[in-house]
A and B are shown apart, each in its own frame.
Chain A
């Protein structure tokens, strides 16, 4: 059974600071995703990582994937209040009929 673990689950940080969210998974994966969810809203796709060593950046967020370590990171640079949200990673494995397994989410609060 595929397991996906995120840490930390809660993160409170000051504006301007950097931090990293970690996503570990338990078996070989085909794809890894990062999503953002605002309160009361659905998921917004941030990144799709398809291969070992993949790195993608959008604004203050950068995601990377190490398939050998079964680890993805979401790095936040110079956080701003607008980044406050819950971030989920999710993992696909080919044999799982296209289903994704989600981590528990990291709730990020950026304080002024």
Chain B
């Protein structure tokens, strides 16, 4: 089955700096890659997603890049703010009737004021 590895497990940045979180996946058939943000005690919330027919997607300060050949995708957050502090999860899904999400192990991002 699919396996998703996520790095780093913890990341501290100064407010205003950029943060990058990287994930690799094992199943070359995977074609959908969402990123979720989970604040302490709250539900995972989708922040951005990308499908395999595009290489990059941007939404304001957040961008995701996908390299299908290398089977890795990355989350980029620019101009970080304290409210960006949370755990970020990447996930992958392959085509099929259920399209279950396989998650990475998460990155605890701390933005220092």
Decide if A and B are genuine partners.
no
